[in-house]
Structures are given as C-alpha cells and as structure tokens.
C-alpha cells in the first residue's frame, strides 16, 4: 500500500509516488532568524520532521532541505534597534535555532541553505524572469508581473478579482498591478545590500525559497511544506516564480500544517501571545512536546494549554516506563519475523503484528498520528499484560523483543519515548559503580582481599566486570 498525502494543490488525498525512485526531495520553509522561535513554529518543524522520518521508516530515501531566512525586514529592524549588524542578529538566532531543534528531538536537515549565501542563484532566477517578460524593473526594485502567470492563485484557490480590489487600497505607483510582488528590493540607507544588474539591493522573501529549493532539489521536486499561513502569498508566489522560469511543474505535493492556537488565536510573534521553545523545554522534554503534537492530526488546529502538556507528560511517562520494562524483559532475545515462530506466545505475537498493520494503515493515510498513537498505547497495554503473566521461555522473550523492535520503529518517527530518561538512570548506576570500585581499592590497600574479591564476584554475577588498567580498576558491562 502506498502512502496517501493530502495535497493542498489538488485539495485531495493522493497516492505518493516519488519523481525519482531513488530519492524523495522534500523542502520545508524554515525560520526567519530574528528571534527565538515559538512553539507555533515548533509545530511546523516537528510535524515535518515526523513526516520525513515516516518516509524513511517506510523505506524511502529522503533529501530534506530547510532554508534559513537570514535577510529580512524583521532582522534589519531588530539589528537597528540593538545597534548591531543584521548578520550578527541572523547568526545569533540561527545558532539558537539549531540548539532549540535539538531540544525537540528534530533530526537535522540534509541542507540548511541561507539566503545570503545564494544571492547569485537568486539574481540568476530574477534575470530569467525578466528575460521571459514576467518580471519588470521599476526604480531599482524588481516586481513579478502577476497578470503574466495565468495559473496565479491556483494553490490557494483565491479569487483574483477580489484579491485585486483588496490590494488596491494600498496603491503603489511602481507596480503594474496591485498584486505584483517584489523580487528584488532597492537598498535603503543603512540596509545590507548586494550589487545587482538593477542596482544595489537585497532579495525578496519569496524568491529565496524558489531559488534555494530548485538549487538543492531540482526544477521539479516531490514535497514542499510549511504552515497554512504560508499558502498565500508565499507558496503561491513560489509557484509563480519557479514555474514561469522553468516552464515546468515546481513542487508536486504541497503539505501544510494547522496552527497552534492559544486562547483561540494563532500563536504569533506579532500578537505577542507566544511561548518560546527555549522556555518550554526548560519544563518539558522533547518526548512530551512531540507527543502533545502527535496526539492531533498535523492539519488540524491545536489549542495550547498547560493541562494538555501535563496530560502529554503523563502519557509519555507511561510509554517510557513501558519501553524500559519491555527492554528489560526482552533481554538479548531477537525479534520474531512472524507469529508462526512464536510457539505458545502465538496469540500475543499475532496481536503485535495486527497492531503494526493498523499503525501503518493509519500513518499511510495522510500521517494519522492520533490513530497511530492510540494503537501504540494498545500495544503497550497488551505487552504489560503479557510480561506480567510471566516471561520465562526463549519464545516468550522473543515475543517481547518483537514488541520492542516495533516500538523502536514507531518511535523512529514519533519521537515520543524519553530515551534520555533511561540515560539518567544509567548515569546514576555509573556513579554508584565508581564509588564501589573506589571502596574496593581501599579494601585492597588495607589487605582485605577476601572482601574485595567478594565484591568483584558479586558484581560479576550482576553482569559487571572489573578490569585492572594502568589508570586503576575499571568496570564494564558483561557482553
């Protein structure tokens, strides 16, 4: 069965087929680096991270590209307020972005192109649009001539006449048509600028995504994603720019995540109703924040509440505790390939495989994570019951190992189990063992070899091997 994706462009679910069988090209609009990003932005980054990783889980190779908008009015404004260079602001918040996505368990993109590193590609694309007669220069600015692109507004489905009359309120003499949008902005005093055939200036926001996505993924590529607020005008304009320049289809599948709302309003910088990821991750782990989002479909709106996060924390803890218990019960047993090998555990293993099919069916259906998470909890419940009834035979251990392998597989795209919670424990165990070794060395110095040897033997029985090294005794887990 193929993965089905809701394509904003066709307004329906479509079966996914990659353009090139070997690799899925995936572009996501990234952050404008002028401040710490908030949990509304985080929703976009997390859901597309999940989708990318689900493709990988299903055997696809994915080339994942996310741009950083590092030149923009907001960055310049922030730099002027602080009396620093705009590149300094962009650098600071780009570094913060990388730290914060790591805190959310987001896998790094394959490429993070920055607008200021691609001025040449951007200018080449603008020049091509002028040459084709779909863009025009006007007093050092370059505009896209919307009337020259008949398919304009086909992504958003907006009515051009209505848009035009709305846009007429703010008349701009330099434009042919009120809907025309800027590709190149003439430099204003005190602003960063680059030389160009149209005078010194800087690129517009929309053209940077067209230029960088095509630079890294080709003129036509598979998936283009972003929040629903980007459908119009950002993605609409990207399509107009790219398709007019190449004469080809641009992105084949358009994915848009729903908003994170707070008290019924979209969380946004401009409304001032935002909570940064920096703040949130002081209290909640990546697993909790991710589970909070995974419990809703990526296209539905989500309301942010403290209670919602607390509930996600309790649920994530249940999953993590179950994962630890399952890990311990599985020991070093290998998973089963089918229920037929399961012997007396056959009925249980059949349930495990049925839940796997259910989870895949849910995920294949436009990434229905709420249904998948529900089934994951069913799996945990079944596994708890099975382990509590006693796991002693090799077949039973292999049945539990099968659950573990499946859980790890689901978590490879959901990221809702707190693996680091396990690390905290092993860190503590490490410290305790260091202390025991230290005391054992003292016993040996006091020539109490009998007790020192007993400690070594009892640790060996618990799977801890003590070895002498030039720096003193060391411990390791028995293989």
Q: Which stretch binds ligand AMP (CB under 6 A): 120-128, 130-138, 261-269, 455-463?
A: 261-269
Which of 43, 290 has the CB closer to Zn ion?
Answer: 43
Site string for ligand AMP, 40-59 (x = CB under 6 A): xx-xx---------------
Task: List the interface residues with Zn ion, window 219-238 (CB under 5 A).
Answer: none
Total of chain residues touching ligand AMP, rule CB under 6 A: 17
Please identify which residue in 266, 296, 313, 406 interacts with ligand AMP, judged by CB under 6 A: 266
The contacts of residue 127 (CB under 8 Å, 6+ apart) are 197
Task: List the interface residues with Zn ion, window 29-48 (CB under 5 A).
Answer: 29
With binding defined as CB under 6 A, does residue 237 bind ligand AMP? Answer: no
Within 10 A of 206 (CB to CB), how many other CB atoms are there?
Answer: 23
As a whole number of angstroms, the distance between CA 124 and CA 146 comes to 19
Buried b vs exposed e over 34-62: b needs ≥16 C-beta within 10 Å? bbbbbbbbbbbbbbbbbbbbbbebeebeb
Task: List the interface residues with Zn ion, window 94-133 (CB under 5 A).
Answer: none
Contacts of range 261-265, beta carbons closer than 8 Å, 24 or more positions apart: 261/301, 261/302, 261/303, 261/304, 262/303, 262/304, 264/303
With binding defined as CB under 5 A, does residue 349 bind Zn ion? Answer: no
Q: Which stretch binds Zn ion (CB under 5 A): 2-10, 28-36, 98-106, 179-187?
A: 28-36
* DSSP of 334-360: PPPSSGGGGGGGHHHHHHHHHHHHHHH
Which of 182, 244 has the CB closer to ligand AMP?
Answer: 182
Q: In sequence order, what are the beta bridge partners of 69?
A: 32
Which partner from the list ligand AMP, Zn ion, none does 351 bind, CB cut-off 5 to 8 Å by kind?
A: none
Which of 226, 415 has the CB closer to Zn ion?
Answer: 226
As a whole number of angstroms, the distance between CA 392 and CA 340 comes to 19
Within 10 A of 205 (CB to CB), how many other CB atoms are there?
Answer: 21
The end-to-end CA distance of the chain, in Å, is 40
Task: List the interface residues with ligand AMP, window 329-358 (CB under 6 A).
Answer: none
Which partner from the list ligand AMP, Zn ion, none does 260 bind, CB cut-off 5 to 8 Å by kind?
A: ligand AMP
The DSSP call for residue 292 is H
As a whole number of angstroms, the distance between CA 157 and CA 9 comes to 9
Which partner from the list ligand AMP, Zn ion, none does 86 bind, CB cut-off 5 to 8 Å by kind?
A: none
Ramachandran bin of 145, using left for φ above 0, alpha for ψ from -120 to 50, beta for the remaining angles: beta
The contacts of residue 183 (CB under 8 Å, 6+ apart) are 126, 129, 135, 142, 143, 144, 203, 204, 206, 207, 241
Which partner from the list Zn ion, ligand AMP, none does 44 bind, CB cut-off 5 to 8 Å by kind?
A: ligand AMP
Q: How far is the CB of 54 from ligand AMP (least distance, A)?
A: 18
Which of 66, 363 has the CB closer to ligand AMP?
Answer: 66
The contacts of residue 129 (CB under 8 Å, 6+ apart) are 135, 144, 183, 241, 244, 245
Burial class (CB in 10 A: 0-12, 13-18, 19+), 350: middle
Q: How far is the CB of 84 from ligand AMP (least distance, A)?
A: 20
Which partner from the list Zn ion, ligand AMP, none does 259 bind, CB cut-off 5 to 8 Å by kind?
A: ligand AMP
Tokens for 379?
Answer: 């799996």
Which partner from the list Zn ion, ligand AMP, none does 227 bind, CB cut-off 5 to 8 Å by kind?
A: ligand AMP
Q: How far is the CB of 146 from ligand AMP (least distance, A)?
A: 22
Which of 42, 146 has the CB closer to ligand AMP?
Answer: 42
Which partner from the list Zn ion, ligand AMP, none does 339 bind, CB cut-off 5 to 8 Å by kind?
A: none
Total of chain residues touching Zn ion, rule CB under 5 A: 2
Burial class (CB in 10 A: 0-12, 13-18, 19+), 207: buried
Q: Report the SS3 class of residue 198.
A: coil
Site string for ligand AMP, 206-235 (x = CB under 6 A): --------------------xx-xx-----
Which partner from the list ligand AMP, Zn ion, none does 78 bind, CB cut-off 5 to 8 Å by kind?
A: none
Whether 324 contacts 348, CB under 8 Å: no
Helix axes 286-294, 369-388, angle to 10 degrees: 120
With binding defined as CB under 6 A, does residue 31 bind ligand AMP? Answer: yes
Residue of minimal Cβ distance to ligand AMP? 227
Which partner from the list Zn ion, ligand AMP, none does 209 bind, CB cut-off 5 to 8 Å by kind?
A: Zn ion
For residue 4, report the phi and psi dihedrals to the nearest 5 degrees. Answer: -105, 135
Q: In sequence order, what are the beta bridge partners of 185?
A: 202
Q: In sequence order, what are the beta bridge partners of 114?
A: 68
Q: How far is the CB of 235 from Zn ion (least distance, A)?
A: 7
Please identify which residue in 27, 221, 250, 259 interacts with ligand AMP, judged by CB under 6 A: 259
Please identify which residue in 3, 5, 29, 183 interacts with ligand AMP, judged by CB under 6 A: 29
Task: List the interface residues with Zn ion, window 175-214 (CB under 5 A).
Answer: 209
Residues near Zn ion, by CB under 5 A = 29, 209
Residues near ligand AMP, by CB under 6 A = 29, 31-32, 40-41, 43-44, 226-227, 229-230, 257, 259-260, 266-268
């Amino acid at each position: 069965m193929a993965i089905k994706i809701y394509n904003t462009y066709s307004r329906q679910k479509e079966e996914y087929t990659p353009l090139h069988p070997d690799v899925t090209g995936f572009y996501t609009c990234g952050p404008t680096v002028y401040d710490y990003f908030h949990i509304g932005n985080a929703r976009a980054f997390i859901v597309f991270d999940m989708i990318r990783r689900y493709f990988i889980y299903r055997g696809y190779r994915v080339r994942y590209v996310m741009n950083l908008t590092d030149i923009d009015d907001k960055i310049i404004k922030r730099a002027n307020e602080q009396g620093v260079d705009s590149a300094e602001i962009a650098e600071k918040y780009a570094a913060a972005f990388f730290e914060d996505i790591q805190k959310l368990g987001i896998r790094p993109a394959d490429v993070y192109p920055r607008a200021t590193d691609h001025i040449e590609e951007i200018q080449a694309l603008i020049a091509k649009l002028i040459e084709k007669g779909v863009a025009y220069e006007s007093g050092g600015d370059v505009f896209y001539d919307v009337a020259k692109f008949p398919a304009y507004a086909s992504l958003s489905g907006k009515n051009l006449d209505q848009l035009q009359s709305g846009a007429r309120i703010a008349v701009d003499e330099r434009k042919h048509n009120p809907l025309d949008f800027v590709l190149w902005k003439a430099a204003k005093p005190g602003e960063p600028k680059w030389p160009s055939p149209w005078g010194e200036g800087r690129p517009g926001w929309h053209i940077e995504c067209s230029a960088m996505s095509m630079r890294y993924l080709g003129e036509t590529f598979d998936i283009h994603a972003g929040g629903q607020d980007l459908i119009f005008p950002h993605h609409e304009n990207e399509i107009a720019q790219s398709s007019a320049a190449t004469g080809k289809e641009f992105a084949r599948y358009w994915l848009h995540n729903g908003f994170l709302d707070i008290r019924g309003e979209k969380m946004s910088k401009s409304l001032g109703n935002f909570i940064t990821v920096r703040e949130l991750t002081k209290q909640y782990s990546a697993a909790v924040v991710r589970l909070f989002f995974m419990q809703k479909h990526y296209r539905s709106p989500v309301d942010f509440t403290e209670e919602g996060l607390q509930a996600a924390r309790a649920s994530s803890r249940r999953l993590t505790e179950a994962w630890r218990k399952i890990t311990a019960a599985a020991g070093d047993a290998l998973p089963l390939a089918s229920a037929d090998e399961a012997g007396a555990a056959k009925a249980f293993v059949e349930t495990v495989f049925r839940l796997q099919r259910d989870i895949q069916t849910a995920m294949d259906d436009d990434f229905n994570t709420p249904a998948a998470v529900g089934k994951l909890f069913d799996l945990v419940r079944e596994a708890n019951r099975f382990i509590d009834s006693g796991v002693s035979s090799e077949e039973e251990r292999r049945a539990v190992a099968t659950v573990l392998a499946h859980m790890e597989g689901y978590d490879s795209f959901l990221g809702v189990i707190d693996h680091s919670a396990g690390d905290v424990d092993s860190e503590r165990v490490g410290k305790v063992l260091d202390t025991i070794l230290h005391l054992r060395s003292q016993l040996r110095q006091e020539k109490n070899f009998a007790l020192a040897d007993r400690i070594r033997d009892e640790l060996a029985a618990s799977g801890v091997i003590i070895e002498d090294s030039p720096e003193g005794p060391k411990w390791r887990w028995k293989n």
